[in-house]
Structure 1
Amino acid sequence: MTNPIQGVRHVFDIVKAARDNQNPFSDEMIQQLLDATVSDEKIRSRYNNFSKGYSAEELFRRIFSLLPWVRLITPLGQEQYPEVSKQNLQTPDYEITYEVGSQRELKKILVEVKLVDGNKQSFELLKNTYEVLKNYEDSSPHPLVFAVFWRNRLQWTINSIEAFSEKSSCYKISYEQACLNDLSAVFGDYSYVFRKPIYRKSRFSNIKNHRSKYYHNHEKYGQTIYEGISLDGKKYKEIISIETPVIDSAFNFEQINYKKLNSRRIEIVEKVILNDSVYVYKLSSLILGFLMKIYYYNKDDMYYQDNFIVENAFNIVDTVRRTCGGEKFYLLPQNKQEKTRNLMKDQFGNAPHIYKMYNSNELLDGPILCSHEPF
């Protein structure tokens, strides 16, 4: 007889495959599949909760596979035999092979994916859940970390158990502590910092059925026929249609100029609202925001639609970053314990300005950002 949890996973995979093929199942069809596959009624009734967890796992695999230093993400498959093995050993969700220090050197790491849903400001990991994962880690040459998806914030953090506080029955980490001890930089999850003025010039035509290389319209001015970005308000670089959603998902603009070119065309110039501040985005969050803007990521159920654009999302986002004057920084964890220190040394030990800053930030209370380039 199929393990009921494994049965739920099989149902999830079938439902997702049907949706990927643009033939989504109705709720009634999903229930029929559950009735035919999962023997335990209590497990069947929790399908939606299981589905959220599996969706987070799938989303992690997709988003982190786009990061520049990640070479391979391998699902470890959790159909364990003998069945009683789960009482002492639990296979994590993924094994990641990634570049450390250079393209020539690779290492592996174990990743367990967790979801923080709703408005929760912390994540709790039951001690017995961690212990069976730790037993697996102890039997492996590779360290274990937790990928926590803070769903409402559209943000992933990678955290070692060292960043958690130990309670009587669980290990707990707040959103703030998860961010302050985020290890995602070791995978190339850059922090993009935008601190220069950004200007956008757009031209529109109100001619019906006007042929344009841009897909989007302005609700008031008509079809977009040109868009350009400038960092000085004078010299503009034209951007392509697929780059616009990245900009719209990242920045707030205010209109500073309007010009009527002729009876059919107008031009507006907008400037990013900085308010004496800067914009800072992690690469993984900017990719998610971009995919949500083009409706390839559904925030309501964490479903993503795979296609050529998604596979090239990093190149699209990083191109926009350069056009908009974004600088690459790394978010460094505050934690100095052994596992965290080893991961940081592996990745940044040959970049003295980064590793030195990591080792000398004890007195800083907030997030520590280190430039990609030495000063």
Structure 2
Amino acid sequence: MSDMERAQLLHQLTKNFDVPPDMLERLHQQIVDPGIKGNLARIKSGLDVEDNYKSIFSALPWIKNINGMHQRQEEKYKAEYQVPDYTLLVEDSQKSRFSLLVEVKSVRGQKTACELMVKQKHALNNYARDNGMPLLIAIYWERLGYWTHNCLENFEGKKKNKITWDKAIMNDMSHLLSDYAYMVSKPFYRKTVFSQTVEEKGVRHKDYGAYHSSFVGLNPESLRESDVMESSVIDAIFQAKEISLIREGELTYLIEEFVSVPQMVKLNNWIVNFLGLWGASAQERGDLFSMTEVARILMVNLMHDMQGDVRYVLPTSKNKCTDRLIELAYKGTEVQHCYQNSN
């Protein structure tokens, strides 16, 4: 077992078990490669990003399986190949499935570009080519709270190994995983009722009291019943404008309008914001569903009711990789037709 594999196992161990500090230190000492031993914090951070990727994208309906590859290669093969982080099974427009390789990267802090090591780029490409599967680089842009999926052919620079955040977004292929965007073109409304008498611990407004109930809709005179989870979904991405505040006894009625329209909302960005609002881990689960899946269902239902239009934002720079992926995902559909006829 290589030291990198030991570091990966140690990461999984500390995430799933309460490991005593002395035992953890003994395990650390068994990693001897100074390049790995001295970078365990950075490696752990990268593995956390991979775990978040799996939790967020496994919540999407067109992804039928995400399998971690774990990169347990014999050393003699590593000069030519690098095993990507995940294989995915994705449902296409014909309700069939195709396989996809994904390598996960993150861009920390205020950095604006993702740069691959040239050797790594070629080794990943070799693995995808010789296994006959398309490859995407999944990039988490920390400053934006936003994931993109990009073809290696869209990387630029002298060595064709660098992509900036704006080029990554313009050539994002995430929609083929059902990570599409919504165009919200109409204002919508929320009425929230707060109570001064509710004593139970829960969601509270610092001025109006405890959350009592809520209602949402396109017309302030005709709102459907909502709940606190859906309200947090709304607050995670939309800006509110207060239009009415009425106090009646112990109850306060707040009516807000969400008017920043037209607005394009990306599903993965929305889920990331939602988790941040709750201070929750992407790995958190309830009895039946993960928190990311609950969020996705609430978001899709809200957009249906608020008449948000699904948009498949097509790449601005077409190449053999994007051609192949569009064919696999959207063969015979209007999406493929639009792609083929785009500049």
Structure-2 separation of matches of 1:218 and 1:30: 45
Aligned AA (2:225): E
Q: Which residue of 259, 265, 270 corresponds with 1:281?
A: 265
Aligned to 1:290: 274
Aligned to 2:314: 332
Aligned AA (2:280): Y
Aligned to 1:267: 253
Alignment check: 8 A CA contact 1:124 1:171 kept = yes
Deviation at 1:266, TM superposition (A): 1.7
Q: Kindly report which structure 2 residues correspond to 1:15-94, keeping only aligned pairs within 5 A, or say none.
A: 15-18=14-17, 23=18, 32-81=25-74, 83-94=75-86
Cα root mean square deviation, aligned: 2.0
Q: Secondary structure at the match of 1:231?
A: strand
Q: Secondary structure at the match of 2:276?
A: helix
Structure-2 separation of matches of 1:52 and 1:208: 42
Q: Kindly report which structure 2 residues correspond to 1:208-247, keeping only aligned pairs within 5 A, or say none.
A: 208-209=198-199, 215-247=202-234
Aligned AA (2:167): Q
Aligned to 1:6: 5
Alignment check: 8 A CA contact 1:11 1:33 kept = no
Q: Secondary structure at the match of 1:146?
A: strand
TM-score by length of 1: 0.85
Q: Deviations over 1:60-105 (max 9, x none)?
A: 1111111121101111221112x221111111111111111122x1
Deviation at 1:334, TM superposition (A): 1.5
Deviation at 1:281, TM superposition (A): 1.6
Q: Deviations over 1:226-277 (max 9, x none)?
A: 211121221011112221210110111121111122x211212111132xx4
Structure-2 separation of matches of 1:114 and 1:84: 24
Structure-2 separation of matches of 1:10 and 1:309: 23
TM-score by length of 2: 0.93
Aligned AA (2:145): L
Q: Which residue of 174, 182, 192 corresponds with 1:192?
A: 182
Structure-2 separation of matches of 1:39 and 1:171: 30
Q: 1:34 to 1:349 in 2, by over 3 A?
A: same
Aligned AA (1:114): K
For the pair 1:348 / 2:330, whether they are aligned, the reply is yes
Deviation at 1:309, TM superposition (A): 4.4
Deviation at 1:41, TM superposition (A): 3.7
Alignment check: 8 A CA contact 2:188 2:217 kept = yes
Structure 1 runs of 4+ aligned residues shifted over 4 Å read 28-31
With 279-288 and 65-74 compared, the bigger mean Cα shift is at: 279-288
Alignment check: 8 A CA contact 1:110 1:143 kept = yes
